[in-house]
Structures are given as structure tokens and as C-alpha cells.
Amino acid sequence: MKIINQNIHIDGIDKKILRALMEDARTPILEIARQVGISGAAIHQRLRKLEKSELISGSKFIINPKVLGYTTMAFVGVFLEKAVSNPEVVKQLKKIPEVIECHYTTGNWSILIKILCKDNSHLMHLLNGKIQSISGVSRTETFISLDQQIDRQIKI
């Protein structure tokens, strides 16, 4: 792997390692080593370099929110009274556990958030009682996701 001008160049072996781990992050290193045809130590070394380059930013288990009763996903465009309110509004949004993503955006909204709720009543409670009551928020625009049809990472 070479890093040139902040651009990361990965070779075919790095790609095979990354693809295997993206498919299942719990794949044993020795199994990947057998598939790729290099030693487990070489896999570890390459992974350390990929982490150091920040191409890999971690690994995680993914919880299925529906199993926990969170069946409603919504995207909420947040309009701010003033752009300077952004840091404080984001600070308050971080306190709401149902807010799972927050993006500073261009366009009509200042902020776009993704939230998970148990149902529409829960969504209404979050919007009226928590999100719209944040100082600096002028109003919101909500889109309920009926079904997530694509969920993937960038192709390696």
C-alpha cells in the first residue's frame, strides 16, 4: 500500500482482505490468510497500515432496530433560525438517543437527521417534544422511510 498526496493506493491483496472483512468483520485472520495466500502475520501488518492510513475506521456489530421495536425510520430536515445556531443545536440533538445520524447540509435545511422510532406516535413525540423545542430550530420537515432498499458501503 502506498500513500501519495493523501490518496491511498491499495493493491489486490489489500482489496481481498478488505472485501472479506466488509462481508463479515468476524472472519478469522487465518481464514483470510488462507484465502489470500499470505501469512496471518502479513494480514495483521496490512490491517495495521490500513488503520493507520485511516482507510479503516473501525469495526462494529450492527443491531437490528426492528427486533428492539424500532419500526419507524424518518429523515428530518431541520431549519435553523440562524446558521450560527448549528453547534448548539447539534449538541442538543446528540442528547436524543433516537437521532442516529446528523448531517450539516446545503439546500433548504441546515441539518438533516435520521431518526429511529417505535411508531408514528413516538415520532410525533420526538418532533414536537424534543426536536422542535430546541432553541435555534425554527421548524422541521419530515420524511418517513417506508423501506430501506439499499444499504452498502463504497465498493473496494
Which residue ranges form the domains of the chain, and what is each CATH number?
A: 2-52 (1.10.10.10), 72-145 (3.30.70.920)
Question: What's the rounded Cα separation, in Å, for the pair 6 and 29?
Answer: 27
Task: Judge contact between 142 and 123, C-beta under 8 A.
Answer: yes
- Reference 38, options 17, 11, 21; nearest CA is 17
d(CA 30, CA 8): 25
What pLDDT shows up at residue 56? 92
pLDDT tens, residue by residue, 49-95: 999 999 998 888 889 999 999 999 999 999 999 989 999 999 999 99
- What residue type is 38 in one-letter code? I
pLDDT tens, residue by residue, 90-149 = 999 999 999 999 999 999 999 999 999 999 999 999 999 999 999 999 999 999 999 999
Percentage of the chain surpassing pLDDT 90? 87
